[in-house]
Amino acid sequence: MSSVSAVSRPALRHVLTHLVTPLLMCLGMGIAYLSAFHAPAPHQLPVAVVGQGPQAQVLAQTLKDKAGDGLDVTTAADSDAARQRLLDRDLVAAYVPDADAPTLLVATANSETSASAAEKVFTQVAAHQGKPLAVQELTPLPAGDPTGQGLFFLLVALSIGSYGSVAVLGAAGAALAMRVRALLGLGVALVVSLLGTALAGPVFHLVDHGLLGVWAMSWLYSAGIVAIGTALHAFLGRWTTLTMMALFVMLNFTSSGGIFQPELQNGFYRALHSFWNGAGFLEGVRDHVYFGGRAGLGGHVATLFGWLAAGAVLLLAAARTERKRALAPALAPAPAPAPAVVPGAEQAAEQPADRSVEQLAAEAAEEEMEEAVGV
């Protein structure tokens, strides 16, 4: 009975240790998603009232007073100026207070949820005039993505393909030099980006033009994630998967602007949106596909390059760390002489031990990959 307990205790400890990852993921995902998406409310949502006369000024000031911090209300000289600001993504909506047909100008490709929030506000304004609100869309979306949120799910697919490959490169590829793993990572990112672009374009028609730019940003985005993950594996080992989930799922998807723009989220996620790689990719693709690259595309591409550069720096640090680890046994003091043994017995004794170490390492790598796939 005692022998059974002696065997079962290490096995039980092993299982419980591996259960820590999914339980921490449950906690982290719950906190991240619920804190990011519960009770969305406008915070300085940029809208405009079209007109130069006192009527437009009074309406804008009235809306600002009633909404408080919820709306950032300005005026636009005319409809053309309002359209320009919408296409530059400086506005979410612009209200034209026509006495006969009040109209709301929107660019849904910027954010469908933000446009809907603005429409609710100005529907009430038009109702006070006793008129129905007409909505004019400035950025028609493709039939394959009528809400404009399909690009968010492209982001999800690219992210999963990228961080899911890290466990393989880090665990199964541990025997390879870091530069080889880095090159393999670039190749994996290329394949992931090509798959994502094909799905977004000819397969599901989320994007009907500009596929070359979508592919280039997809590759940058994926390469940054793979580089960071491959490097972190040298330091974190089996905890890399959980770390990647935190960085590129919990904090990434929630701050990307795919569901809610930062104006509908709390300050923490609004801050992340300004520099996180998922937001850089998603907003960059939106700018490129729907707004002709006129609304800050360069800044979003720079964000993606910044994350890739961070990955390159981490890869250099990881390579240096692995070199030091490899040299450590050679620099260690020589062990004391072993007792004499019968010739041939030492080799027979060492071989099973060597095989055992190799087998344990292979099993650990296999467990890590299975855990990553399960995630």
Residue 167's pLDDT is: 84
Shared domain for 282 and 221, answered yes or no, is: yes
Question: Which pLDDT band holds residue 362 (cuts at 50, 70, 90)?
Answer: low
- The answer to whether residue 373 sits within a structural domain is no
- Greatest pairwise CA separation for the chain in angstroms: 106
- The answer to whether residue 23 sits within a structural domain is no
Residue 117's alpha-carbon distances to 71, 111, 120, 179, 223, in angstroms, are 10, 10, 5, 49, 35
| Phi, psi of 134, rounded to the nearest 5 degrees | -95, 140
Shared domain for 77 and 220, answered yes or no, is: no
Shared domain for 195 and 258, answered yes or no, is: yes
Helix (H) or strand (E) holding 76: strand 71-76
Shared domain for 128 and 149, answered yes or no, is: no
Please give the full DSSP string across 151-196, using - where no structure is assigned.
HHHHHHHHHHHHHHHHHIIIIITTTS-HHHHHHHHHHHHHHHHHHH
Domain of 114: which CATH number?
3.40.50
Mean pLDDT, residues 12-32: 89
Residue 364's pLDDT is: 57
Question: What is the percentage of the chain residues whose pLDDT exceeds 70?
Answer: 86
Domain boundary among 121, 137, 153: 137
| C-alpha torsion sign, points 159, 162, 165, 166 | negative
Residue 371's pLDDT is: 55
Residue 351's pLDDT is: 46
Residue with tokens 């006129």: 294
Residue 231's pLDDT is: 96
Residue from 191, 256, 255 nearest 219 by CA: 191
- The answer to whether residue 279 sits within a structural domain is yes
The type of residue at 45 is L
Shared domain for 113 and 219, answered yes or no, is: no
What is the phi-psi region of residue 335: left when phi exceeds 0, alpha when psi lies from -120 to 50, beta otherwise? beta
Q: Count of alpha carbons within 13 Å of 255, Cβ hemisphere only?
A: 23
Shared domain for 172 and 202, answered yes or no, is: yes
Mean pLDDT of the chain: 88
- The answer to whether residue 68 sits within a structural domain is yes
Report the range of poorest mean pLDDT among 96-100, 110-114, 134-138, 215-219.
Answer: 96-100
Residue from 180, 333, 318, 161 nearest 237 by CA: 318
Shared domain for 195 and 318, answered yes or no, is: yes
- The answer to whether residue 371 sits within a structural domain is no
The domain total for the chain is 2
For residue 16, is pLDDT > 90? no
- The answer to whether residue 105 sits within a structural domain is yes
For residue 318, is pLDDT > 90? yes
Size (the chain), residues: 375
Question: Which pLDDT band holds residue 99 (cuts at 50, 70, 90)?
Answer: confident
> Bridge-partner residues for 341, per DSSP?
none
Cβ 122 vs Cβ 95: under 8 Å: yes
Question: Which pLDDT band holds residue 348 (cuts at 50, 70, 90)?
Answer: very low
- The answer to whether residue 110 sits within a structural domain is yes
Shared domain for 61 and 110, answered yes or no, is: yes
Cβ 195 vs Cβ 161: under 8 Å: yes
pTM attached to this predicted model = 0.86
Residue with tokens 């990647």: 244
For residue 187, is pLDDT > 90? yes
- The answer to whether residue 201 sits within a structural domain is yes
Residue 294's alpha-carbon distances to 5, 46, 89, 155, 177, in angstroms, are 68, 18, 9, 21, 42
Residue 175's pLDDT is: 86
Mean pLDDT, residues 268-287: 97
Residue from 276, 168, 161, 180 nearest 218 by CA: 161
Domain boundary among 305, 323, 341: 323
- C-alpha 252/C-alpha 94 separation (Å) is 30
Shared domain for 158 and 250, answered yes or no, is: yes
pLDDT digits (tens, 9 = 90+) for 210-232: 999 999 999 999 999 999 999 99
Shared domain for 156 and 282, answered yes or no, is: yes
Shared domain for 95 and 149, answered yes or no, is: no
**Beta-sheet pairing, 93-96 with 103-106:** antiparallel
- C-alpha 366/C-alpha 348 separation (Å) is 28
Shared domain for 230 and 107, answered yes or no, is: no
For residue 5, is pLDDT > 70? no
> Bridge-partner residues for 37, per DSSP?
none
Mean pLDDT, residues 270-293: 96
For residue 4, is pLDDT > 90? no
Residue 40's pLDDT is: 92
Residue range(s) defining the domain that contains residue 234: 145-323
For residue 6, is pLDDT > 80? no
Domain boundary among 307, 323, 339: 323
pLDDT digits (tens, 9 = 90+) for 35-78: 999 999 999 999 999 998 898 999 999 999 999 999 999 999 99
Residue 352's pLDDT is: 47
